[in-house]
Amino acid sequence: VQKRSEETKGKIIHAAATCFSKNGYDATGVSEICATAGVSKGAFYHHFESKQAVFLCLLEGWLAELERDLLALYQQDTPLPEILSRMTGSFQVIFDTAGDQLPMFLEFWIQAWRDPVVWSAAIKPYRRYQEIFAEMFKVGISEGSIKEDIDSKLAARTLVALAVGLLLEGLMDPDKGDWGKASAESVRLLVDGLKKG
Amino acid sequence: VQKRSEETKGKIIHAAATCFSKNGYDATGVSEICATAGVSKGAFYHHFESKQAVFLCLLEGWLAELERDLLALYQQDTPLPEILSRMTGSFQVIFDTAGDQLPMFLEFWIQAWRDPVVWSAAIKPYRRYQEIFAEMFKVGISEGSIKEDIDSKLAARTLVALAVGLLLEGLMDPDKGDWGKASAESVRLLVDGLKKG
Amino acid sequence: VQKRSEETKGKIIHAAATCFSKNGYDATGVSEICATAGVSKGAFYHHFESKQAVFLCLLEGWLAELERDLLALYQQDTPLPEILSRMTGSFQVIFDTAGDQLPMFLEFWIQAWRDPVVWSAAIKPYRRYQEIFAEMFKVGISEGSIKEDIDSKLAARTLVALAVGLLLEGLMDPDKGDWGKASAESVRLLVDGLKKG
Amino acid sequence: VQKRSEETKGKIIHAAATCFSKNGYDATGVSEICATAGVSKGAFYHHFESKQAVFLCLLEGWLAELERDLLALYQQDTPLPEILSRMTGSFQVIFDTAGDQLPMFLEFWIQAWRDPVVWSAAIKPYRRYQEIFAEMFKVGISEGSIKEDIDSKLAARTLVALAVGLLLEGLMDPDKGDWGKASAESVRLLVDGLKKG
DNA sequence: ACGCACGGGACCACCCGTTATT
DNA sequence: AATAACGGGTGGTCCCGTGCGT
């Protein structure tokens, strides 16, 4: 079977995520990944063309998961403020569970800025997130929970940017215990200003 | 004289900024910096202890400049919304003038996350920025331009995070012509929600 | 097979011995070793962790061989003076065959003085040699060929020190033709003083 | 005046001795010597042509001192065994006072083996030491304290070699407290074998 | 007599990717 | 499918010595 093969590939991907998170893309060597995964270089280059290929694989998985989560939120039949509240409520959870892989986010960003291949793989999903939120705000306006004079696209853009900014701040701040709560409050501060009444 | 020395050091710093911005810290070689600066490796290591030392030097200069600009804004005797409006108005200018060095910002952040030395050099000024903005908001509340029930610290934190997020977005977006304007609008969206009446 | 591997490793070790002997440990570059061995740097660092690792490998091999030879002498059932005589008789042979690698001995010593790792690798066997000789002298006393009032440990220590001193002298003296004979005479001079009657 | 000049030169020489002893000739950088001496490289290269020049200067000083001490012993009007006894008695003193510079001895030896310039500077004095001792033994024979059938040259050579060997052993042994005494005993063991009666 | 800035060249370690081998 | 050996090249650091200036 090729079950064994899939397993090896999984180990490599997992190891790569760990290494990239810990030391960054550039500073991580292929040998290091192999050692962490417990496989040989031959195995690595059998499954992936290059170091970048693993990185892209990682990126795609991350983006797909993010979009899935987002769409799950969107399709619920709930008022927008409630949705955002839930979302922010899950910030701390995100941090606690996937906190180790969070530095990867920065790594993705920086590589995307430099490498056109990574860029095009990252920018499209990113735009889609903005569109999803814009759609949410539109619904919010039509359902009367958001002020009518708000530009839904601008609001979406702002919200996403704020989230990104808060994420970066969370990276720097060692006080991760409070990060989720504080971030939720920040988002609420923004959203409160958009709410009607 | 040691005028020559200062000149050489300046050339190195400038070259390093260029290279780091273009290729990132890790991918930039010392030889590359030297070649760009037009100096020898001997000269480089005469002025700096290591590659990291140049990086730190760059970071400190950047942070100092930022703080200077911020304090200049703060000390003006103007209503807060007007101050923020001016600030956002200068966003586009920043992008046009120092746009090439903006990737350095990300580089700073990522290195700060990894290296404790860089971190402690970056985190203090960052906290100071937050405090400056918090002070601004306090003044805004007392002068009656900001809602009384706003937590000034939270507002400051949110504003800075938003700025950081917008900056990152600007990096990704090739359409830099509109970035300044769009960012200004985002900030206004946030601030409008905080304004009284 | 891994026969090829063993061969490469052997070539590297041999080349390293040559280079260290000729130019010394510090002055020998890894590239030089590789060039002499006819292998690439990749191969070198595949087989050894560092330059020091090859050195230690060399040292261990040398010490092991020495101990083997010594024990072979010890286990013969012959009167002590005869044993020593044979040993000194082989001095010249040593010089002629392994003469080129003799400078390594000094290199070992100096590195052992400086580096604790090398030191602990060298000092134990060295002490063992002293013990072996001490044992020999004890046997010599009990068999009546050595004066009874001789301290066997002191005699062993003195003999080893003399051998070391003669080795160093041999390094300096370009007149290697006579070195073996002269050294044998020196040792006999010492031993004669210890013999009974 | 050039008193200042001499002072600087002295500082450099002293610093070089310290550095060479601590890290060895090859591993010691000129900058390191300068830093230790508290002078600039300009000063260094004003007084010495190269790193080797300082080394040679050091070597010559050392050899001259040694010869002076030896001749002082020789010219005393004392029986040989007494002279040797005194000499060995001063072993421990040597170790305690000049112990730090003792590694220089090894450094001298190894450099002498490699560099003809150093070699010729070192070999002549070394031979002279042997001759001095040979002369001593001759006197010892004629005064009746040494066996008549002893070859004075061989005895001298053996004695010097033993001293050298003991010196090297002292380098390796961390237990320097006992080294002087033990060495004295070793020399006595050899000399006792040469004494008449 | 001495100080500082500098030149250019090496060295060790390591890294990415490939080939021989199983 | 996976291993181990290998190739060649780069990277940061440091070093010896020079030359200008005082």
The 3-state secondary structure of B71-95, one letter per residue: HHHHCCCCCHHHHHHHHHHCHHHHH
Rounded Cα distance, D53 and D115, in Å: 12
pLDDT band at B98 (very low <50, low <70, confident <90, very high): low
Query: Helices D152-172 and D116-142 sit at what angle, rounded to 10 degrees?
Result: 120
Rounded Cα distance, A80 and A77, in Å: 9
pLDDT at B95 over 70: no
Q: Tell if B10 CB is < 7 Å from nucleic strand E.
A: no
Closest alpha carbon to A80 in A146, A154, A148: A146
> Mean per-residue pLDDT for D115-142?
89
Tell me, in Å, how far CA of B65 is from C1' of F22?
37
Query: Taking CB atoms and an 8 Å cutoff, what residues of chain D touch C21?
Result: none
The structure tokens listed for A39 are 């496989």
pLDDT at B176 over 70: no
Asked if the Cβ–Cβ distance from C164 to D160 is below 8 Å, we say no
Rounded Cα distance, B100 and D35, in Å: 41
Rounded Cα distance, B17 and B55, in Å: 8
Count the neighbouring beta carbons within 10 Å of the beta carbon of residue C180: 20
pLDDT at D102 over 80: no
Top mean-pLDDT range of B84-98, C23-37, D77-91? C23-37
Top mean-pLDDT range of A175-179, B135-139, C86-90, D1-5? B135-139
Angle at D46 between CA D45 and CA D51, to 5 degrees: 30
> Mean per-residue pLDDT for C66-93?
79
Looking at strand F, which nucleotides approach a protein CB closer than 7 A?
1-22
pLDDT band at C97 (very low <50, low <70, confident <90, very high): low
Query: From its phi and psi, is residue D77 left (phi > 0), alpha (psi between -120 and 50) or beta?
Result: beta
Q: Which residues make beta-bridge pairs with A195?
A: A146
Q: Within 28-87 of chain A, which residues have Cβ less than 7 Å from strand F?
A: 39-43, 46-47
pTM value? 0.87
With H, G, I as helix, E, B as strand and everything else as coil, classify residue C195. strand
Rounded Cα distance, C196 and C132, in Å: 21
Q: Within 131-160 of chain D, which residues have Cβ less than 7 Å from strand E?
A: none
- At A151-185, the pLDDT tens digits run 999 999 999 999 999 988 888 887 767 888 888 89
pLDDT band at C72 (very low <50, low <70, confident <90, very high): confident
The structure tokens listed for B103 are 């990737």
Chain mean pLDDT for chain C: 87
Tell me, in Å, how far CA of C39 is from C1' of F8?
11
What pLDDT was estimated at residue A109? Answer: 86
Q: Which of D114, D164, D189 sits opposite C168 (nearest CB)?
A: D164
Chain C and chain D share a number of CB contacts under 8 A equal to 124
> Mean per-residue pLDDT for D40-51?
95
At residue B75, φ and ψ (nearest 5 deg) are -80, -5
CA atoms within 13 A on the CB side of B133: 21
What pLDDT was estimated at residue D1? Answer: 58
Closest alpha carbon to A195 in A140, A134, A154: A140
More confident residue, C1 or C4: C4
pLDDT at D3 over 80: no
Q: Tell if B38 CB is < 7 Å from nucleic strand E.
A: no
What pLDDT was estimated at residue B50? Answer: 96
* A and B in touch (3+ CB pairs within 8 angstroms): yes
Rounded Cα distance, A103 and A90, in Å: 18
- At A3-47, the pLDDT tens digits run 778 889 999 999 999 999 888 898 899 999 999 999 999 999 999
What pLDDT was estimated at residue A31? Answer: 94
pLDDT at C1 over 60: no
Rounded Cα distance, C175 and D125, in Å: 17
pLDDT at B89 over 80: no
pLDDT at C197 over 80: no
Which positions ≥6 away from B106 have C-beta within 8 Å? A106, A109, A110, A113, B168, B171
- At B24-40, the pLDDT tens digits run 899 999 999 999 999 99
Closest alpha carbon to B130 in B78, B59, B187, B67: B67
The residue assigned the tokens 């797909």 is A64
Q: Tell if C11 CB is < 7 Å from nucleic strand F.
A: no
What pLDDT was estimated at residue D89? Answer: 75
**A31 nearest nt, CA–C1':** E15
Q: Which residues make beta-bridge pairs with D154?
A: none
- At D165-196, the pLDDT tens digits run 998 888 888 776 788 888 889 999 999 999 88
What pLDDT was estimated at residue B129? Answer: 87
What pLDDT was estimated at residue B96? Answer: 67
The structure tokens listed for C74 are 């010890």
The structure tokens listed for C81 are 């003076």
The structure tokens listed for A47 are 């499954």
pLDDT at C99 over 70: no
Chain mean pLDDT for chain D: 86
pLDDT at C113 over 80: yes
What pLDDT was estimated at residue A45? Answer: 95
Chain mean pLDDT for chain A: 86
What pLDDT was estimated at residue D173? Answer: 81
What pLDDT was estimated at residue A83? Answer: 80
Asked if the Cβ–Cβ distance from D114 to C24 is below 8 Å, we say yes
The structure tokens listed for C166 are 């003669």
- At A88-97, the pLDDT tens digits run 777 666 666 6
What pLDDT was estimated at residue B1? Answer: 57
Chain mean pLDDT for chain B: 87
pLDDT at B99 over 80: no
pLDDT band at D35 (very low <50, low <70, confident <90, very high): very high
Tell me, in Å, how far CA of B39 is from C1' of E13?
25
